[in-house]
Amino acid sequence: MGMEEWPQVVTLIFTKHHLALDVSKPKRGTSNNGGDEPVDEQLSARPPVEIQKVKRIKQKKINKLRYAEYYDQQELLDSLYKDSQNGAIFDKLMKHIVSDANILMAYRSIKRNAGSKTPGTDGLNITDIEKLEPEVVCKRVRNILNNYQPRNVRRKDIPKPNGKTRPLGIPCIWDRLIQQCILQILEPICEAKFFDGSFGFRPLRSAENAINEVYRYINRSNLYYMIEVDIKGFFDNVNHSKLIRQMWAMGIRDKQLLCVIKKILKAKIQMPDGTILEPTKGTPQGGIISPLLANIVLNELDWHMESQWGENPLAYKWKGGVAPNGTFSKGSSFREMRKTNLKEMHTIRYADDVRILCATKSEAHKTLYGVAEWLKKRLDLDVSMEKTRIVNLRKQSGEFLGIEIRTKRKGKKDVITSHMCPKAIERTKVALKKQIKVIQRSGNKNQAITNIQLYNAEVRGIHNYFCMATDITTDCQEIHNSIYKALYNRLKPLKKCSLSPKLGDYKNYGKCKRIMECQGHYILPIAYVHHRKTAGKKKAVNLYTPEGRKWKHDNLMFRNAWLLGELYKYPVRDRSIEYNDNRVSLFSAQRGRCAITGRDFLCQEEIHCHHKTPRAKGGKDGYNNLVLILEDVHKLVHSTKKSTIDFYLGLLKLNDKQLKKLNHLRELAGLPAISRVQ
């Protein structure tokens, strides 16, 4: 509902009570909706408030889109995407990056990430920002960007499954916030230019989509030769100058922004031993913006490969049609192109994992050497010939994203068969056996249950990811056979049991007869899993078009959703950014209604954000410690005088359920419960 329609709703609801309500925009900082002090206001005669009951409808939700909705950024992001599609030049992006809405949205995006609690070289993390007021945070970000000099990046080595380590760069928290601000504005511009066959670190794309694409080309196009391209140290060898030129070619021509990105790329690295390195190339893994920059670099490779076949001018020469998903159908063109000397090939990429599918061995060899030469000359990147190989899928197994792929003869056709890769199987065996030991050595029952839950989480993770392998049942049975003795010998007593009707996390295991019970808690069987058909990405799905979002996301549909904009534009003064951000979250979670009465909020002034545990008693500004209630309800929560309590009880006319909720808040505040008879 738009703002212009709202007064009609007000009239509809309140005409019978003859109320004169002011729904005009309040002045900034005048709303007194954050107080937790006892209130005994001067009473005035007011009619009882009508309680509304609105049926709640479960909505599809994507957090990124919801955050853009909270801070009124979706229209801007949509326009950037559309303009980028039309070849626009973007030379004034900094004004969008440093806007209050974008900065607050960036804070919200990173505050829940586990990495936000990891300190950089300055020792600060997200908790040091959440205490500040929104205006202070926004002003600080703008001041930093006026003459941007990123702090040193902390180097941390992460162990890899093969025994080696992966170097990560951990920026300081303010630098991470700035990177998130830049990412939010650049992403729609870049998404409009990215190749459709890349799936890594992109919205609404997954490893499953990438695997499905491989299956599709093998089964439908009979491309049985897979080139497994390994780019030597890709993230550590990205050419900075080339990257900036690629961004310029995409239309990103804000010179101030490009200077900021250059400084991010050249940020000094502080090693564990205290030495300082000055990088001359590479995108630091661990930075928020690094995955986007990596995709920008390899996007040129994607389009180069696609120009050999899918985007070849001949693909549009013959008459095609429009497919049901709205894309141009090239089927007839491809049939004619196969009669020429052109080499059919298709590229699927997930981050720096590149797979190219070809029809013949000779074409695969020519393609490999052509790609290696092109990467060297164009992007200054080397292909590791020791790790790069050409696989005939009818005779050997190829590997992509932990899935081992090959074909087998079925009748007159070769069809896909896939497994967990051997390394993944061995890692799973080791991890589960280790966790079984941890369960055995638990000090008490509660600790044992926690450790069992961790074991189950490991099992569910394996099932959820590797179920896209066609022979996952066989692989998991092999894992079960390996851990069987450890499971039964170490976890005594262990017995078979039947699942409760209220399954919760176990709902996918309702028909399983191999569920075991230990310490009164279920242990999920690793062998109980079925192959799930892989899902491809729908062409129509897109974060940055209204039509594309309908597949995955529903906009907020309650009547006063427009008040969200008021909440972020006019924050409560002298309160932290965490407090004001959670106000917005709670408004959405409560669907714009009072948590006690269920009545719709009509203006910002009547929205009071109450601390369940008062700040005087150590209560924080966290989401779980806050609740949005009406002004009159808030006064009743803190009232101590009998006359005041009686007045507001008569005004609000709370039922038993609502009174119980109210008394719960009073008890948390250290006040006695209210009864109907005082």
DSSP conformation letters of 517-586: EETTEEE--TT--------PPPTT--TTSHHHHTTT-----STTTTHHHHHHHSPPTTS-HHHHHHHHHH
pLDDT at residue 326 tops 70: no
Quote the pLDDT of residue 524. 86
What pLDDT does residue 54 have?
44
Which pLDDT belongs to residue 309?
86
Task: Classify strands 413-420 and 403-410 as parallel, antiparallel or unpaired.
Answer: antiparallel
Q: Over the stretch 515-530, which tens digit does the pLDDT of each residue have?
A: 777 777 788 889 889 8
pLDDT tier at 42, thresholds 50, 70, 90: very low
Per-residue confidence at 497, pLDDT binned at 50, 70, 90? Answer: low
Question: Would you state the pLDDT for residue 60?
Answer: 82
**Number of neighbours of residue 471 by Cβ within 10 angstroms:** 14
Q: Provide the whole-model pTM.
A: 0.86
CA distance 441 to 438: 5
Q: Is-contact 387 230, C-beta < 8 A?
A: yes
For residue 140, pLDDT beyond 70? yes
Percent of the chain with pLDDT over 90: 63
- CA proximity to 556, closest of 581, 582, 593: 593
**Residue 573 clears pLDDT 70, i.e. is over it:** yes
Tokens at 608, concatenated: 């009071």
Tell whether the model's pLDDT for residue 4 goes beyond 80: no
pLDDT on residue 506: 66
Q: What one-letter code names the amino acid at 574?
A: D
Residue 665's pLDDT band (boundaries 50, 70, 90)? very high
Q: What is the pLDDT of residue 499?
A: 52
Res. 461: pLDDT tops 60: yes
pLDDT of residue 342: 86
Give the pLDDT of residue 354. Answer: 96
Greatest mean pLDDT among 501-505, 627-631, 674-678: 627-631
| Mean pLDDT confidence for 235-261 | 95
pLDDT at residue number 601? 94
Assign 341 a pLDDT band (cuts: 50, 70, 90).
Answer: confident
Q: Mean pLDDT, to the nearest integer, of 449-462? A: 91
- Residue 538: pLDDT band (50, 70, 90) is confident
Whether the per-residue pLDDT at 48 is higher than 50: the answer is no
- Paired with 170 in beta bridges are 154
Given a cut of 70, whether residue 5 has pLDDT beyond it is no
Query: Does pLDDT of 316 surpass 80?
Result: no
Confidence of residue 505 (pLDDT cuts 50, 70, 90): low
pLDDT of residue 405: 96
pLDDT at 213: 93
- pLDDT, position 164: 77
In the predicted model, what is the mean pLDDT of residues 646-669? Answer: 93
Residue 518 pLDDT: 78
* Mean pLDDT along residues 74-97: 96
CA distance 105 to 187: 14
Confidence band for 417, pLDDT divided at 50, 70 and 90: very high
pLDDT of 57 reads 55
Cα distances from 530 to residues 472, 553, 672, in angstroms, run 7, 28, 56
CB 13 within 8 Å of CB 50: yes
Q: Is the peptide bond before 493 cis (omega within 30 degrees of 0)?
A: yes
Instruction: Please tell me the predicted confidence (pLDDT) of residue 554.
Output: 85
What is the Cα–Cα distance from 187 to 183, expressed in whole angstroms? 6
pLDDT at 479 over 90: yes
pLDDT given for residue 286 in this prediction: 85
Question: What does the pLDDT read at residue 6?
Answer: 34
Q: What pairs with residue 522 in β-bridges?
A: 517
pLDDT of residue 457 exceeding 70: yes
Strands annotated E in 64-122? none
Q: How far apart are CA 609 and CA 616, in angstroms?
A: 16
pLDDT of residue 578: 95
pLDDT at 388 over 70: yes
The H or E element that residue 609 is part of is strand 607-611
pLDDT higher than 60, residue 38: no
Q: Which tokens in the block code for residue 598?
A: 């269920």
